[in-house]
Amino acid sequence: MKPQIEAGGGWDLWKRIAAQAPDGSFGRPEKFCCDPERSNWMSATVTTLDGEILPYIQDICHRDPLSGKVVTGGIVTARDSSWLLSWTINRQPQFKGQPAGQCVVWVYALFSDKPGDFVGKTMRECTGAEMCEEWLYHMGVPEDRIVELAEGHANTVPCMMPYVTSFFMPRNDTDRPKVVPDGAVNFAFLGQFAETPRDTIFTTEYSIRTGMEAVYTLLDVDRGVPEVWGSVYDVRCLADATVKLRDGEPLTSMQLNFVERKALEAVLRKVKGTDVEKVLRRHGVI
């Protein structure tokens, strides 16, 4: 997949703007748009047309997809998928005017250049129906029903996104311009390719925060941009994350060898009766 930067598009505009500052103060767009093989995802929207596929969804998420409540509750990833395929379903109906009984599913994969486990083709070579077949296969649909369901009971629309993770490309803190570059008085950079401290890209909050920073700075508004939640410094958040990484299992249930078990017992004796023990118990670590 070779980079094809459209004249007049966003990348082209940023390149022309960046060229006006040879010192790099307007960023280096080539760091982000040079290699779509490393930044692409393939995506597909699957719309189930009746109730034939829904039981397989419910078997996995244990929720009725048409209940009007949360369905997957997040992203479901097929860990053994060669495409590293994932899917998610929001509350239904997702769109105004969506016909009753239909369910809209977002399916995507990180490795669009690898052959699928059922279809035997790369995702980028597949039709929408073939992408649906691969998804159904990883949901555990019997193989003798997969083609029938994909072709007759769902409508699948594919979409290639060559730069969807481009802002995660290797970079340093000067490859994106500051929201308000040094000396700027009437312009700013907004969105995922502007540099603002401590926040995490790929979120709506990041784009909103860069806009607030630009307005408050350029118009000299005496108002602070909301702080980024400092979860990395909060021991309670770190404790929660530790437990969630273990699917809710406390550290005390780990399979430890003799030395490790004795070390853990010594630590627990040390913190017994302290606030540290209270925090660990409150968050399910022990």
Residue 95 has what pLDDT?
Answer: 93
Find all residues with CB under 8 Å of 181, minimum gap 6, and list them.
Answer: 21, 25, 26, 188, 189
The confidence score (pLDDT) of residue 127 equals 97
Query: Which residues have C-beta within 8 Å of that of residue 87, sequence separation ≥ 6?
Result: 46, 72, 75, 76, 105, 106, 107, 108, 135
CATH 3.30.9.80 correct for 41-161: yes
Q: Which of 171, 216, 170 is closest to 190 using CA atoms?
A: 216
The pTM assigned to this predicted structure is 0.72
Start and end residues for every CATH 3.30.9.80 domain found in the chain: 41-161
Residue 117 pLDDT: 98
Q: Which of 45, 43, 47, 86 is nearest to 65 (CA)?
A: 47
Per-residue pLDDT of the chain (286 residues; tens, 9 = 90+): 666 677 888 889 999 999 999 899 999 999 998 889 889 999 999 999 999 999 999 999 999 999 999 899 889 999 999 999 999 999 999 999 999 999 999 999 999 999 999 999 999 999 999 999 999 999 999 999 999 999 999 999 999 999 999 988 999 989 999 999 999 999 999 999 999 888 888 888 899 999 999 999 999 999 988 888 877 788 898 888 888 878 788 988 988 999 999 999 999 999 999 999 999 999 999 9
Contacts of 98 (CB under 8 A, 6+ apart): 92, 104
